[in-house]
Amino acid sequence: MSWKEAAEPVLSRMPVVERPAGHVPFRRKLTWTAGILVVYFFLTNINPFGLAVGQGSDFFGQFRSVLAGSSGSLLQVGIGPIVTASIVLQLLGGANLLGLDTDDPRDQVLYQGLQKLLVIIVTALTAAPMVFTGQFLPADPAVGQALGIGTFGVKSLIFAQIFVGGVLLLFMDEIVSKWGVGSGVGLFIIAAVSQQIVGGFFSFSALGAPGFFANWYSIATGGTQLGSPFTSAGLESLLFEPGNILALFTTVFIFGIVVYAESVRVEIPLSHARVKGARGRFPVKLIYASVLPMILVRALQANIQFVGQLLSSQWAGMPSWLGVYGEQGQPTSGLFYYLNPIQQPEQWMWFRGAATGEPWMIAVRLAIDLTFMIVGGAIFAIFWVETTGMGPEATAKQIQNSGMQIPGFRRNPQVVEKVMERYIPQVTVIGGALVGFLAVMANLLGTIGSVSGTGLLLAVSITYKLYEEIAEEQLMEMHPMMRQMFGNK
């Protein structure tokens, strides 16, 4: 008996959001998308019952813009389990260890069920150490005494709430993918990043740290003195806090470069085999695999650091070569220090006196982070293209099935595949490496709202693609024949 036959009774019975039986009107799709977004913000503002609010630490704080969610809320784990499960499945699928044919409906059901099962398992494995170690989500002893269940009972209650929140996020993502516009993961990332950026621009002292406009209002009214920009102290105040000009420049630059990169493409001419004069183009964009593979890279780094945090808190005799952790729970030396990505300018600018470690240690850490992001971005981009049906072979089949062909070439999938192999693999690697490089550069210079470079790249790119999908949906709504041409009912 193969593993598929043994697991089919379980995987085929996993809860699933039913696909719409027919065409979903565009307005209804927008309604579902907006509704899920409201539910997401609602859940991020609910604290689990029994949690000691204001205590504990948020390890995922530096990864929040990538993993979404909110610290101390029902969505504590964010989309981390979904991304981690995707990494595992992509690696297994890329190595052909699953033996699943995604073109077979039976194997599709098994794949989707396996993905859900992995997400549920990873959600439990992620939430359990956060709750039961007491370091990230400490329980309120008073609640345990009042209910008579003790501290462990309160922790179990918090774990159940966090677990349910993670599972809810999984099905919210599925609802958006089937009934809304875009994907739920992309929508949650946009929401998390936008919230940070808006706060970085418009927050004021009463809400915590003042934002960009509040700082410059204080500067304009004389409440804050910048000093002369021709002095080192004045220039530093202008570029960093309170002026924050460098962060503004980086934010605008990333917005511009991503929009420009999305428009850079190689267009392969196509013509319809039966309808004369019907022509089109197949665009191979510079960022062909999108920036979503960066989520996988950052999630892998987050999981590595999470393991380091757990070892540090639970293993009193952990060797110093593995990692030495400071008061704020961040590594100051050792292996986990060098594997910890640089997220803010203060973490590498030793000349400002805020960075941890000697200059050579910071240089090694930066080199490892840059290599990890560039190489990891290229590798995960290749996996992403091959597993999402964007590779040369799958693209050739799509063009063949649509009735199109490349002018001057025989109407044969193998011929079209060879043409696609001239562009897609090279562009995939270049685009993945470019996105990784831009993410590191944005982290080094800083952004408005302290959004990570990867989070900002993801938000801009996903928003751009969401705009394209909305435009396509509107076009199909205006011209129903377009739905049949693209295979949509």
At 435-479, the pLDDT tens digits run 888 888 888 888 888 787 778 888 888 888 888 888 877 777 766
Reported as a pLDDT band with limits 50, 70 and 90, residue 55 is low
Q: What is the dihedral of CA 474, 476, 478, 481, to 10 degrees?
A: 180
DSSP assigned state of 139: B
Decide: helix, strand or coil at residue 352. helix
* Other C-beta atoms lying within 10 Å of the C-beta of residue 272: 14
The more confident residue out of 166 and 259 is: 166
Which residues touch 115 (CB under 8 Å, ≥6 apart)?
85, 86, 89
Q: What is the pLDDT of residue 480?
A: 59
Q: What is the mean pLDDT of residues 320-345?
A: 83
Q: What is the pLDDT of residue 368?
A: 93
The more confident residue out of 132 and 329 is: 132
Dihedral (CA of 383, 386, 387, 389) sign: positive
Q: What is the pLDDT of residue 62?
A: 64
Lowest mean pLDDT among 41-45, 382-386, 456-460, 482-486: 482-486
Tell me the range of 65-69, 185-189, 366-370 where mean pLDDT is highest: 366-370
Lowest mean pLDDT among 99-103, 155-159, 276-280: 276-280
Q: What is the pLDDT of residue 120?
A: 93
Q: What is the mean pLDDT of residues 152-157?
A: 91
Closest of 138, 136, 176, 174 to residue 155, by C-alpha: 138
Largest CA distance in the chain: 79
Residue 27 confidence (pLDDT) above 90: no
Reported as a pLDDT band with limits 50, 70 and 90, residue 309 is confident
Q: What is the pLDDT of residue 102?
A: 67
Which residues touch 228 (CB under 8 Å, ≥6 apart)?
234
Closest of 341, 343, 342, 362 to residue 351, by C-alpha: 362
Q: What is the pLDDT of residue 222?
A: 80
**Host H or E run for residue 280:** strand 279-285
> In b/e form, how buried is each residue of 292-315, taking b as 16+ CB within 10 angstroms?
bbbbbbbbbbbbebbebbbebbee
- Determine the Cα–Cα distance for residues 198 and 337; give it in Å rounded to an integer: 31
Residue 353 confidence (pLDDT) above 70: no
* Other C-beta atoms lying within 10 Å of the C-beta of residue 41: 14
Q: What is the pLDDT of residue 206?
A: 47
Lowest mean pLDDT among 22-31, 188-197, 283-292, 362-371: 283-292
Q: Which structure tokens are listed for 431?
A: 């685009």
Domains and CATH numbers, the chain: 26-181 (1.10.3370.10), 245-297+367-458+477-485 (1.10.3370.10)
Q: What is the pLDDT of residues 164-174, one digit of tens each?
A: 999 999 999 99
Q: What is the mean pLDDT of residues 242-265?
A: 85
Instruction: For residue 469, give Cα distances in angstroms to 231, 472, 487.
Output: 49, 5, 15
Residue 230 · residue 432 · CB < 8 Å: no
Q: What is the pLDDT of residue 162?
A: 93
- Determine the Cα–Cα distance for residues 214 and 6; give it in Å rounded to an integer: 61
Residue 489 confidence (pLDDT) above 50: no
Give yes or no for a cis peptide into 242 (omega within 30° of 0).
yes
Reported as a pLDDT band with limits 50, 70 and 90, residue 32 is very high
Reported as a pLDDT band with limits 50, 70 and 90, residue 484 is low
